[in-house]
Amino acid sequence: MSRSDESLTQLERNAKLVLEESVRRIDGRTRSRLNQARHAALAAAGARRRAWWASFTLMPAAGAVAAALLVAVVLWHREPAGTAPMALDAPHATAAEDMDLLTDNDSIDLMEGWDGSFYEWAAAQSDAGAESNT
C-alpha cells in the first residue's frame, strides 16, 4: 500500500519528512475537535447498524400482517358459484336427500293426491299372481 522509501527521490523524502512534521505540529484544539468528530462518526455507524437490525426484528410482525391481509382479500373476493361441489358424508347426504324430496314439486303432488286403494289393489294383484304360480 505505502511506497517504499528507496523508490523516492531526495525531494520526495524531504517533503515527506516536512509534511509529517507539520502533522505533528497540529495543535491540541484541532486534535480535540477531530477526536470529537471521530466519535460522532462512530456513533453514526452504530446507529445505522441498529436501524438495520430493528428493520429485521419488525419483519415477522410485518409478515403476519401481510398474510392476514392476503387471507382477508382472498375471502372477500371468493365467488360462491365458482367453488367446486364438496363431497358429503353419510348423515349430511341423507339430510341433503330429504331436502331434495321436500323441494321436488312432483313428490309434493303425489303426497297431496294420495290414493290408498291403488296401492291395496297393486298389493293384491301381486299376491294373487304368486298363488296361481304355485
Partner 1 sequence: MPEFATLASPYSMPAALHGDVDLTDPEQQTQTRALNQFLAGVELKAFKIAQAALRHEDDALDAVQDAMLQLARAYSDRPPEEWKPLFYRILENRIRDMQRRRTVRGRIMAWLPVRGEDDDEEFDPVAQAPSLEPQPVRRLELDEAVGALEQALERLPRRQQQAFLLRTLEGLDVAETARAMGCSEGSVKTHYFRALQTLRAQLGELYL
Residues lying near partner 1 in the complex (CB under 8 A) are found at 1-3, 9-12, 14-23, 25-50
Least distance in angstroms from the C-beta of 62 to partner 1: 23
89 phi and psi, to 5 degrees? -85, 175
**Given the C-alpha cell 392476503, which residue does it identify?**
70
- Return the number of the residue (12 or 97) whose C-beta is nearest partner 1: 12
Question: Which residue, 19 or 88, has its beta carbon nearer to partner 1?
Answer: 19
Q: How near is the Cβ of 1 to partner 1 at its closest, in Å?
A: 6
CA distance 123 to 130: 11
Residue 92 near residue 86 (C-beta atoms within 8 A): no
Q: Which is nearer to partner 1, 45 or 101 (CB)?
A: 45
Residues found in the chain = 134
The nearest distance, CB 21 to partner 1, in angstroms, is 5
Please give the DSSP secondary-structure letter assigned to residue 84. Answer: P
| Smallest gap from residue 51 Cβ to partner 1 (A) | 10
| CB-nearer residue toward partner 1: 3 or 78 | 3
d(CA 90, CA 102): 19
